[in-house]
Structure 1
Amino acid sequence: MSKSVINIVNVSKSFVNKILLDKVNLLIEEKSKIGMIGRNGAGKTTLIKILMGEEEADDGEVIFSDEVKIGYLSQGANFDETEKVIDYLMRATKKESWTCSKIASGFGIDHIKINYNIGDLSSGYRMRIKLAEMMLHEPNFLLLDEPSNFLDLNTLIDLENFLLDYKGGFLIVSHDREFLKTTCEKTIEIENGKITYFPADIEDYFEYKEEKEASIKKYNKNIEERKAHLERFIERFRYKATKAKSVQSRIKQMEKLKTIEITHPAKNVKIKLPAVQEKKGFAIISDNLNIGYDKKIVAESKRIEIFRGSKVAVLGQNGEGKTTFLRTISGRIKALSGNYNYAQGIKIAYFGEDTYKNITANDTVLSYLKKHAKQGLLHQELLTLLGSFLFSGDDINKDVKVLSGGEMARLSLLSAITQCADVLILDEPTNHLDFETVETLANSLKDYMGTIFFTSHDRTFTSLLADTIIEIKDKKISLYSGDYDSYVYKTRLEALKEEEEEIKFQNNNNNNKNDINENKNNSYEDRKKIRNKLSRCESLLKKSESQINDYKAEEKELLKFFEVSYDEEKSKRLLEIKKLIEKAENEWLAINEEIDDIKRLL
């Protein structure tokens, strides 16, 4: 039987007359892997801060077991940018260099990068340093508040792999549904001051919520029908003295009939975005484009052609040049050389950190949106859109100058979308949205008739929206031939290969440096790591097989269609599917080879 490590007892917390936590209770067991969800402002971060002692509860208490040792991934770090990674880890944790190197290697900080100056590393690698530092303190339960924010795909995959291998428990707050689905076995939702605990993953929880909502709707419908029946009786016999007793009885019955309020539906309604005219042909063509700053080339490309209506995800590790590329094609900075040309008459709207952090207008939320939105959009249409972007009630009359960073970002994003531009350029549009809004927005943007270029660290958003991928890697900008799932598979495979190489290096290093007992211990730990890598690789193989089967099923349906008819769009899709099948089969072979290589290490 598992021991409890954290016991939350009748904890309450309010801010400015808003109840965030209302006598909540929760018992967390030692090896629980829990994902915590909830809308923006629901109280998730507040609960984490209460657990860490950074804030005090208004009432109630938190009881920790004597055995628990909490690891907390803080948002800040006392980095000295001129300090080497290894020196910082040794200073911050008081551990020996070989121990620091070994733990750091588990987060993709190999024997080369461990000797880099911290200032020379991207934000993704700085997060890896913080994770390594946290684990060098040897915690047995982790509290992670939005650990996936601003992480590139490679770093996120390393974090997932670490959490899948981790033997202790953890509580993760995240807006990334895919990340929670991969790493967590249980789900907590904070809503209206209360905590709902569900003993399964997020997908099962949402299925449960939908079933519960359907049951409540059915119950409410029955209640309304019974009320209507009683009302008809009351109206018919209200003024008949002989029926007075019966009428009073029916009135009392009706007063007892109460419907159940659905405060937070399992699925949001679709966000109805303003219409944009559909146009054919190319949206943008670039030739020999070099991008960068101050004559320093960040990345370069040959010819890239993007059709109108494409939804283009710009992918790559942090620091490779994704934002630089978007700022270049939006005209915010100049290309170093080469050129890009949009189709004639195209209007562009841009959203990025530099747009929302510089809002200084003397406007309310509503007047700011009206000023930037396309003329002709109805007042009610703007109000509905503001509600979809989490501005409701008195929020629309707030002065822009007093908005939080998250509110500024949401308003700026909405103002870009309501310009009804032919090309939308969105740099991290999902960072300040809860995941229900993220998914609803992605589905709505799919139907947007314009062209969209975007970066996002949210895999669910990218998977739902992207139909075209531009990859920026090793200073090269290029079109990726597969879909997003294929890109994720490729990235996972590369991560496995890198880990395998580092394990080989660490083994050789340990054999040279450590005595026999240490070698035995390290050999055991490394074999355990290799088995975990093998398990993940085999899981990847199953996903690859499933993807191939899906592609082949679609190919079969298309071929059936062409037996009786012809369609140009379906013909294009058939060619795409054939290429995707070939690519997926090559990846399947690569994964099999990787499995063989890993097995040879055991």
Structure 2
Amino acid sequence: MGVLLQIRGAEKSYGMQRLLDDAEATLTDGVKVGFVGRNGAGKSTLLRVLLDEEELEKGEVIRSSNLKVGYLRQHDPFQPTESAMDFLVRDSGQPDWKCGEVAGQFELKGDYLNGPISALSGGWQTRVKLAALLLHEPNLLLLDEPTNFLDVRTQILLEHFLQNFNQAALIVSHDRTFLQATCDHTLDLTRGKLTMYPGKIEAFLEYQAERREHDERVNAAVLAKQKKLQQFIDKNRARASTASQARSKGKQLERLQTLEIEEELPTASIRAPIVVPRKGPALRLNDLSIGYPDRTVATEIKLEIEHGQRAAIVGDNGQGKTTLLRTIVGSLTPLGGEAKWGHGCDIGVYAQHVYSSLDPNQTVLEYLEYKAIAGTTNQMILAVAGSLLFRNEHVRKKVKVLSGGERARLCMAGLLLGPYNILVLDEPGNHLDVETVESLVEALLEYRGTVIFTSHDRHFMRRLATNIVEVRDGTAKNYSGDYDGYLYYVNKEIEEGERARGVTSGQKSKKNASKSGKGSGKDSTEPAMDPRKLQKELKRLEKVVVALDAQRRELNDQLMTATDPDHALKLHNEVKAVEMDLGEAEEKWLELNSYDE
């Protein structure tokens, strides 16, 4: 497995913050790596270093001579009047049939492919950029938060693309579901150090927790042993008959050292508003039509949402999810019908545009004082601010110096200080890191009011939603299944489209091969394997499987008794590597067995 890129002794700082501190990592051929870490840890900075857009203060990045990087551009590289097809041909230099074939993988066809690209939503334009990436045939993809603002269908299309992409990728994302589906390795950046884990994100998070628990148990045992040795020394060092034993125990005591356990980074602790639960309908939509003066988005919407429900609004980008939310909270006037709230509903709104329209000259504390209901004590305001990581001097920061994630947390804190028994949340997880989103989920699960929300984070939706409202084909209606059922339905549609395109693209490939004089007309079926060679290979694989299984068990035994954290991580990495080799050998053995049958 060839090395594409190495980071050695990397150091980088911003002000007093050390983003990279003697950081090291290696990226190899064909390996997809999920890059994780807290907001502000330095992940995007490291990507810019890898792209030669920033320099390290110390250390080096060693690139393979055959490295070909593909980077998902955040800016729009399109010309004003061109179509997606025009852009793909211009950007890649590939023929139109090849561009159309790759575009089909992202469901770009008809007006989406041949109409003006300026008319496409941000999600569809991202699909065009991804198709352009693939046409350049890179052997390392760098993706920075690729799922931000993408609808679920586009996320799943991107997953399928990455699963079938046989080159390497480094993907920065807070979306655990996406990383779990696409990446087999995990790279963590914490306190300036890079740690490569040879496993998926969920296994990495479990390993982190287990490692900490293991270190705490080792320290408890060491402290107990130290206490016993010290008691023996204190009791016996003054006696001539036992003084030598006391000195020996003293040397043992000097050798006993506890493991250094780093203090956990602060995590948001969100508390939902305490409200009196209500019963009956919270919201009724009667023949509601939504949209804008020059464009109708959806019509004949008949829905009822009960108090206490957590209703997830789902659908592709451009179908009208945000338009529906804006209409029910009064930001948009209905084009027809009505949206009627029940008696006694206090509605709190978290919208995508809110944190970008805050007064830049207000401090954190001033904003929260303005949002809090009358009678809220300063102590309560500071407690809520602290729960969302605005502590000490941070409450005196002005809004204009806050990051996107900090502004999102500030708006959330303002909601929590209100009296709201209805929360309408449009993409509440955007700009929040994994830990803060998890805290938000826990708070909303305890909340006794009603939640109407939309999100592209599947982990968030799956944990929170009690019922699903789908916006599609010019209307909105209750979806009969749960969120997993909805995802299955979307996946099935995509897979059916891929199968249909597989037949079409196969026919096109034959035609193009024929046109270029490469079609031989011979049967392309591979010849059957010689039976003697097949049996020989099966026996060889059986020996490999037995040897790898024994090696795995031996390494696991060593791991169970390891006390040094660095040695334990090395052993754990070796176990994972052996398990991957074992899985490949077993799959090959099963494949060859099917020939034997």
Give the TM-score taking structure 2 as reference length.
0.80
Structure 2 distance, partners of 1:196, 1:259, is: 18
Match of 2:277 in 1: 278
Distance 1:74 1:391, change over 3 A: farther
Does the CA-based 8 Å contact 1:101-1:111 persist in structure 2? no
Match of 2:139 in 1: 140
Does the CA-based 8 Å contact 2:267-2:389 persist in structure 1? no
Does the CA-based 8 Å contact 1:314-1:470 persist in structure 2? yes
Match of 1:464 in 2: 463
CA drift of 1:436 comes to 1.9
* Structure 2 residue identity aligned to 1:260: E
Distance 1:292 1:499, change over 3 A: same
Does the CA-based 8 Å contact 2:273-2:420 persist in structure 1? no
Match of 1:54 in 2: 53
Does the CA-based 8 Å contact 1:5-1:29 persist in structure 2? yes
Distance 1:506 1:255, change over 3 A: closer
- Residues 129-169 of structure 1: CA deviation (Å, up to 9, x unaligned): 00111111111111111111111011111100000001111
Determine helix, strand or coil for the equivalent of 2:202.
helix
Match of 2:441 in 1: 442
CA drift of 1:342 comes to 1.1
* Structure 2 residue identity aligned to 1:261: I
Structure 1 distance, partners of 2:380, 2:34, is: 35
- Residues 300-348 of structure 1: CA deviation (Å, up to 9, x unaligned): 2432111111111111111111111111111111111111111112100
- Asked whether 1:214 is paired with 2:213, we answer yes
* Structure 2 residue identity aligned to 1:425: V
Structure 1 distance, partners of 2:523, 2:58, is: 47
* Structure 2 residue identity aligned to 1:423: I
CA drift of 1:224 comes to 5.7
Match of 2:98 in 1: 99
CA drift of 1:469 comes to 0.9
* Structure 2 residue identity aligned to 1:483: D
Does the CA-based 8 Å contact 1:417-1:424 persist in structure 2? no
Does the CA-based 8 Å contact 2:36-2:188 persist in structure 1? yes
* Structure 2 residue identity aligned to 1:117: P
Structure 2 distance, partners of 1:368, 1:146, is: 29
Structure 2 distance, partners of 1:469, 1:432, is: 24
Match of 1:561 in 2: none
Match of 1:297 in 2: 296
* Structure 2 residue identity aligned to 1:319: G
Structure 1 distance, partners of 2:472, 2:153, is: 12
Match of 1:287 in 2: 286
- Residues 258-298 of structure 1: CA deviation (Å, up to 9, x unaligned): 56334337x96863333122111111111001111115211
Does the CA-based 8 Å contact 1:11-1:61 persist in structure 2? yes
- Residues 370-403 of structure 1: CA deviation (Å, up to 9, x unaligned): 3213345554554444344343443222012322
Structure 1 distance, partners of 2:372, 2:286, is: 33
- Residues 30-81 of structure 1: CA deviation (Å, up to 9, x unaligned): 1111101000001111111100011111110101111221111111122124
Q: What count of residue pairs does the alignment treat as equivalent?
A: 520
Tell which structure's C-alpha radius of gyration is larger: 2
* Structure 2 residue identity aligned to 1:272: R
Does the CA-based 8 Å contact 1:349-1:417 persist in structure 2? no
Does the CA-based 8 Å contact 1:227-1:254 persist in structure 2? no
Match of 1:311 in 2: 310
Provide the alpha-carbon RMSD of the alignment: 3.4
Following superposition of structure 1 onto structure 2, how do residues 8-407 of structure 1 map, counting pairs within 5 Å? 8-222=7-221, 260-264=260-264, 271-360=270-359, 362-377=361-376, 379-407=378-406
Determine helix, strand or coil for the equivalent of 2:285.
strand
Determine helix, strand or coil for the equivalent of 1:303.
strand
Does the CA-based 8 Å contact 1:443-1:464 persist in structure 2? no
Structure 2 distance, partners of 1:259, 1:281, is: 56
Does the CA-based 8 Å contact 1:105-1:111 persist in structure 2? no
* Structure 2 residue identity aligned to 1:212: R
Unaligned residue ranges in structure 1 (runs of 5+): 238-244, 528-602
Does the CA-based 8 Å contact 1:510-1:519 persist in structure 2? no
Does the CA-based 8 Å contact 2:408-2:432 persist in structure 1? no
Determine helix, strand or coil for the equivalent of 1:457.
coil
Give me the identity figure in percent.
38
Distance 1:518 1:307, change over 3 A: farther
CA drift of 1:225 comes to 5.3
CA drift of 1:29 comes to 0.9
Name the stretch that deviates more: 490-499 or 172-181: 490-499
Match of 1:485 in 2: 484
Match of 1:451 in 2: 450
Structure 1 distance, partners of 2:357, 2:320, is: 22
